Amino acid sequence: MTLGNPLFAGQNPVFIPGPTNMPDRLRAAMAVQTMDHRAPDFADLLGPLRADLKRVFKTETGEVVLFPASGTGGWEASVTNTLSPGDTVLVARYGMFSHRWIDLCQRHGLAVEVIDVPWGEGAPADLFRERLAADADHAIKAVLATHNETATGVVSDIAAVRRAIDAADHPAMLYVDCVSSLASMDFRMDAWGVDLAVTGSQKGFMLATGLAIVGISRKALAAMETAACPRCFFDFRDMLAANAKGGYPYTPALQLLVGLRDSTDLLLAEGLDAVFARHHRIAEGVRRAVSAWGLALCAKRPELQSDTVSAILTPPGFDSEALTNHAYARYGVSFGVGLGQMAGKAFRIGHLGAMTDVTALAGLAAIEMAMRDLDYPIQLGAGVAAAQEYYRATAGETAARAAA
């Protein structure tokens, strides 16, 4: 047992879906002395960084802004800069984070139309199209979707949501939470017609929490000119005006920006397609382990299974929170707890960011031990062996998949 032993403090990786493990290189990159953010050379950091982040978002026409906040700050910025109190937005609720979008919009005085979908399903493009087609007066100003629902381990087809909006011949903007997908799974802001894309520094970018990173389309930039929701700290106009001059409207999170510069360099050097292939391979090994345990994922169908987090349903009579608490108390390893409707019913294995197949095997072995300690009906080693066989058979295939 390493928990409580100062010699090994912090040595075990976390298997939560964020904040993720930080590579030593990025931790070192952030250990920099303070610089003057109003000095001319600050622009040498900020300008190229924003340009390279556009490559990660896959936008050529949009803008990227960075606020000192978590992803929730990015949500708030997106809503307040482009909408007015009383505006109608259309949202599907299929997990804890889509639910939080709804709560945030309601608190800002928006009229929120909610389509409830069973947890384990994804964004309902067909239902979006049906509702938008009925909105002859175009009262709905935006459709909100969560690309990767972290609570259920479900990835949604955002391209299909855009096709639904276009098929209804509706002018609604498309806002997407890509907090646990960007820089880990394929995301195409321009190709999918995304108007606002929100992420944070603590997931695929493998950094500490503290940067809300928002991609903004030209259509969303135009909408901010008439939006009447109050905003100050999160005002896009202030941020973009300062950025254009190479600066910030207030004190930036300098060390995080330096870390993000190095993180973006790492991602682009590996190649985004290779990053996505690596995550898919690691996730598939986890899924093989879940099947070998005789357990089921929350995601209802294979095409919905996330490559960044697996939400695993516990058998009847077993409390998932007792399992995650036991894994932490006995083995010093953190796994994701069940959230919302999944509380007590599912645990989550995060497999994104600074993750390899070998790291994933350590997590699978740890949760197997915890399950056996609590008399789960599994065979010790079964999941690890299934993942090992898959990783052995696919070793070296990540580059080939990326090139395909």
Contact in structure between 221 and 228 (CB atoms under 8 Å): no
Give CA–CA dist 173/140, Å, rounded: 9
pLDDT 10s digits, 249-268: 999 999 999 999 999 999 99
How high is the pLDDT of residue 403?
58
Q: How far apart are CA 89 and CA 52, in angstroms?
A: 31
Convert 265-287 to b/e letters by CB count within 10 Å (16 or more is b).
Answer: ebbeeeebebbbbbbbbbbbbbb
- Indicate the fold that domain 271-403 takes in CATH: Aspartate Aminotransferase, domain 1 (3.90.1150)
The size of the chain, in residues, is 404
| Least confident segment among 33-37, 123-127, 255-259, 272-276 | 33-37
The phi, psi pair for 380, rounded to 5°, reads -60, 130
Residue 1 clears pLDDT 50, i.e. is over it: no
One-letter amino acid of 83: L
**pLDDT number for residue 382:** 98
Q: Tell me the average pLDDT across 136-149.
A: 98
DSSP conformational letter for 304: G
pLDDT, residue 396, reads 82
pLDDT tens profile 7-22: 566 789 999 999 999 9
DSSP H or E segment with residue 214: strand 211-216
Q: Does residue 2 surpass a pLDDT of 60?
A: no
Q: Which of 374, 354, 258 shows the shortest CA–CA distance to 23?
A: 354
> Does domain 24-268 bear CATH number 3.40.640.10?
yes
Identify the pLDDT of residue 397: 74
For residue 182, what are the contacts with CB-CB under 8 A and spacing of at least 6? 56, 57, 197, 199, 203, 204, 213
How would residue 175 be classed by pLDDT, with cut points 50, 70 and 90? very high
Q: Does residue 173 contact residue 219 with C-beta atoms inside 8 Å?
A: yes
| 183 pLDDT more than 80 | yes
Average pLDDT over residues 208-212: 97
- Positive or negative torsion for Cα 398, 333, 293, 123: negative
d(CA 164, CA 130): 8
Q: Write the CB contacts of 395 (distance below 8 Å, at least 6 apart in sequence).
A: 357
**Closest to 180 (Cα-Cα) out of 398, 19, 39, 388:** 19
| Residues in CB range of 226: below 8 A, 6 or more apart | 84
- Whole-angstrom distance, CA of residue 170 vs CA of residue 240: 28
Of the candidates 153, 159, 164, which has an alpha carbon nearest to the alpha carbon of residue 296? 153
Per-residue pLDDT tens digits for 360-385: 999 999 999 999 999 999 999 999 99
Three-state secondary-structure class, residue 220:
helix
Query: What residues does each domain of the chain span?
Result: 24-268, 271-403
The per-residue pLDDT for 11 is 80
Q: What is the pLDDT of residue 8?
A: 63
* Cα–Cα distance for residue pair 274/281, rounded to 1 Å: 10
pTM: predicted TM-score of the whole model, two decimal places: 0.95
Encoded tokens for 237: 């106009």
pLDDT > 90: percent of the chain: 94
Read off the pLDDT of each residue in 306-329 and give the average, rounded to a whole number.
98
321-329, long-range: CB within 8 Å, 24+ apart, which pairs? 322/374, 323/347, 323/367, 323/370, 323/371, 323/374, 323/376, 326/370, 326/373, 326/374, 327/366, 327/367, 327/370, 328/3, 329/3
Has residue 37 got a pLDDT over 70? Answer: yes
Is 79:111 a contact under the CB 8 Å cutoff? no
pLDDT at residue 90 above 90? Answer: yes
